[in-house]
Amino acid sequence: MGYELIDIEWQRGPAGEVLRIFIDKPGGVGLDDCARASEAVSRSLEELDLIKSAYSLEVSSPGVERPLKKPKDWQCFIGERIEVKTIKQPDKKRRRFRGILKAASDEDFELEVDGCRLVFKYSEVKKAHLLFEA
């Protein structure tokens, strides 16, 4: 359909299970895009009968605090402010870092935090996303 799959989440919500799918395309996605993708995904899931329990399907854009998942994502957003939560504490003091993404390769990325440059492997990252600043 011309959309890039950004992320998939399966969560237990107050009203039951929720399948969230985040999509994007050049120029961004709108409500019509989300509706078309939701219809197609819903039809496919129904035909394949993969999910046996009741659930709600939500399709949306990744938003202004877009998650960073693949090396390509990191490479596209060099120069942007991001937040990274690591799996373990690389400096024994903290696991959450906010800074400017300075470089990104296929294996790791460089983040400038408080004037210091830190290098992280993608395998060390639990979660990362762009930071929105108004």
- pTM equals 0.79
> What span, in angstroms and rounded, lies between the C-alpha atoms of 110 and 16?
39
Q: What is the pLDDT of residue 65?
A: 92
Which amino acid does the sequence have at 83? E
CATH architecture of 71-130: Roll (2.30)
Give residue limits of the domains in the chain. 4-60, 71-130
The b/e string for 55-77 (b: 16+ C-beta within 10 A; e otherwise) is beeebbbbeeebebbeeebbeeb
> What span, in angstroms and rounded, lies between the C-alpha atoms of 43 and 7?
19
> What span, in angstroms and rounded, lies between the C-alpha atoms of 107 and 50?
33
4-60 CATH: 3.30.300.70
Average pLDDT by consecutive 10-residue portion of the chain (134 residues)?
Answer: 93 88 94 96 92 91 92 94 86 85 97 94 94 84
Q: Phi/psi class of residue 123: alpha, beta or left (left: φ > 0; alpha: ψ in -120 to 50)?
A: alpha
